[in-house]
Amino acid sequence: MKKVLMVCTGNMDRSSTAAMLLAEMCAPMWVMSAGTEPWAKNQITLELAEEADIICVMEDAHQRLIRKRFGEAYAAKVIVLDIRQLCMLGSRAG
């Protein structure tokens, strides 16, 4: 079973919605979502990055952050979806 981690900034909109849609497709896979910021609803951890076979990020900045935090081996798992945050929730992007 493939393990897919969806990542955005705050884990409030993009990654959580993408994970929900992917899970609803009833594909035989483990799907989780996380954010890159300390205030994220579910912050990305080394454990999540290790467990995932594929890490789908919304922007190039998320891939750079994963590379910086966890190293090149984890950045190699990343697919950049290029889905920009369209609206701001308060002062934080989701």
Name residue, tokens 């750079």: 64
Ramachandran quadrant class, 71 (left: phi over 0; alpha: psi -120 to 50; beta: rest): left
Helix (H, G, I), strand (E, B) or coil at 67: helix
Query: Over its length of 94 residues, how does the chain's per-residue pLDDT go in tens digits?
Result: 899 999 999 988 788 888 888 778 867 888 899 999 999 999 999 999 999 999 999 999 999 999 999 999 999 999 999 988 765 555 454 4
**pTM exceeding the 0.75 threshold for the entire prediction:** yes
46 in Cβ contact with 20 (< 8 Å) = no
